[in-house]
Structure 1
């Protein structure tokens, strides 16, 4: 039984690994944000495919730095409607507490997201 539990955990772990560039971004499900609360900082990218692809490529170019900050990249899925503010392009940074920390209707440089995360009190505690 121990072997079964370990293999199950190992099989499921990569699904929500922070900034996992090998699997790509995960679609936002109805329960995703609740499952990630206090565990990770989701960056949600919604909108037209070309803009989403550009934003994700920029984020994935900084995968190591995002992983250090426990960032998970999420895209459009069944759980996205609650976060939408219109139908256009959107980038949202969700804090570990579940609150929206940043919302942008244009692409956001990964460095700006990293800087914003680093300015957060919880991140300051993590760095100590």
Structure 2
């Protein structure tokens, strides 16, 4: 069988192994990595010190941001708070929506938490014509206390028409407050009027 001339001719024309083509001169010059793909070096290898400079500038910019934010804080609106014990709710009829925050002392953690909630989104309060009234002195027996009769901490939401809409014995965040106010008929009317002006 090995003396068959046809078989000898077939064995002479076998294709070259794949490994032989990978070792060609062209392959060595285009790819110097031990992989079949030419991998690019990391950014830090190509740019060297430039990446360190860029990184330092980014860090410096981030550290400088709080200082810039403090400068613009002076132009921020302040919480509209009335701390007068002699305040009369009739002063705010059809102009403001009072939010009354009662506590037996200004050190009550619930009072502090509620004031922090209100300070967290002052623009939302101003948009809804809200004024914040605080009373932390039960001994003064203010008109607000006589009318609303709080026991310890209490949050009271009052509409522009003077109607008490909500009483809460625990602090409410701004999301809960604004959602509640936005459902009131007077607020719904304001929203419709504002949409008509646009």
Smaller-chain TM-score range? 0.7 to 0.9
Q: State the distance in 1 between where 2:157 and 2:84 align.
A: 13
Rg comparison, structure with higher value: 2
Structure 2 partner of 1:6: none
Q: State the distance in 2 between where 1:90 and 1:28 align.
A: 17
Of the candidates 45, 54, 58, which is equivalent to residue 117 of structure 2?
58
Q: State the distance in 2 between where 1:94 and 1:28 align.
A: 17
Structure 1 partner of 2:82: 26
Structure 2 partner of 1:5: none
CA deviation vs aligned residue, 1:12-39 (integer Å, no higher than 9, x gap): xxxxxxx842xx6212544431000111
CA deviation vs aligned residue, 1:33-78 (integer Å, no higher than 9, x gap): 1000111100000013232122011111110011000000110173
Quick check: 1:38 aligned with 2:94? yes
Structure 1 partner of 2:25: none
Structure 2 partner of 1:122: 186
Tell me which of the two structures has the higher relative contact order, counting C-alpha pairs closer than 8 angstroms and 6 or more residues apart.
1
Q: State the distance in 2 between where 1:125 and 1:56 align.
A: 28
Indicate conservation of the 8 Å contact 2:102/2:150, yes or no. Answer: no
Indicate conservation of the 8 Å contact 1:92/1:100, yes or no. Answer: yes
Indicate conservation of the 8 Å contact 1:58/1:109, yes or no. Answer: yes
| Greater than 3 Å deviation, 4+ residue runs | 28-31
Higher strand share: 1
TM-score if structure 1 supplies the norm length? 0.75
Higher helix share: 2
CA RMSD of aligned residues (A): 1.8
Structure 2 alignment gaps of length 5 or more: 1-76, 193-198
Structure 2 counterparts to residues 1-20 of structure 1, below 5 A: 20=78
